[in-house]
Amino acid sequence: MFLPPPPFALRKMTLADLDGALAIDRLSFPTPAKRAMYIHELTGNPLAHYQVLARMGGRTDSIIGYAGYWVLADEQHISAVAVHPDWRRQGWGELLLLHMLLQAYEHPVNLSTLEVRRRNLAAQSLYGKYRFEVAGERKGYYKDTGDDAILMTAAPLDAPYFQFLQTQWDGLAGRLR
C-alpha cells in the first residue's frame, strides 16, 4: 500500500481544506487561484481529482501540500502541485506527483500530461525523473506573467511504468521516514 509515513496523510481534498490550500497557492504562484475555482473543482467538476498532504496531530490537520488532476478522455492532465515553502525540498512535492501518477491507474488513461513554466527548472527536473518528456510549448501561456509553458507528457501508463512507479515509491518512502 502506498502511504506516507506518520504523522502525514494523503487524502481527498474537501471544502474544509480550502483555507490551507489557498494559503499554499498564494505562496506558490504569481497569480493565486480564486476560492470559487476550487469550489467548482471539488463540487461541480466530475473530471477533477484533488488531494491534500496533511500533517496529522492536535485538533486539526495542517495542510502542507496539495495536488490535482483532471481525467480527459484517455489522459490524466496534472493541473496543480504545490507545497508550502516550509516543507519544500524534502520530497513532499515528489510524493504528491507520484501519488497522482499511481492514481492514474484507477482510470482508463494511457498518458499523463502537464504544463510547467519554462523557468521552473526544479519542477521540470522532477517531472523528468518520472519520465515526462517535452512534447511542445505554449507561448505566453501564463497570462499573469506572459511566461511560456513547456508541455510535458509521460506515456504509456502501462505495466512497466507502474513497476517503475512502485520502485520510485519504495525509494521515496525510505527517504521520507
User: Rounded to an integer, what distance in angstroms lies between the CA atom of residue 113 and that of residue 134?
Assistant: 10
pLDDT per position as a tens digit, 89-104: 999 999 999 999 999 9
Query: Could you give the angle at the alpha carbon of 111 between the alpha carbons of 108 and 114, nearest 5°?
Result: 125
- Catalytic residue selected from 127, 141, 142, 161: 127
Question: Sorting pLDDT into bands at 50, 70 and 90, what band is 1?
Answer: low
- pTM value is 0.94
- Nearest CA to 49 out of 112, 2, 122 is that of 112
pLDDT in tens, 122-139: 999 999 999 999 999 999
Q: Which of 38, 94, 115, 161 is catalytic?
A: 115
| Cell numbers describing residue 6 | 506518520
Task: Establish whether 137 is a catalytic residue.
Answer: no
Per the DSSP assignment, residues forming a β-bridge with 63 are 54
Active site residue 69: no
Examine the pLDDT at 59 and tell me if it is beyond 70: no
- Domains of the chain and any CATH numbers: 8-172 (3.40.630.30)
Could you report the per-residue pLDDT of 135-166, keeping only the tens digit for each?
Answer: 999 999 998 889 999 999 999 999 999 999 99
Which residues, other chains included, contact 117 with Cβ-Cβ below 8 Å and sequence gap of 6+?
A: 123, 142, 145, 147, 148, 149, 150
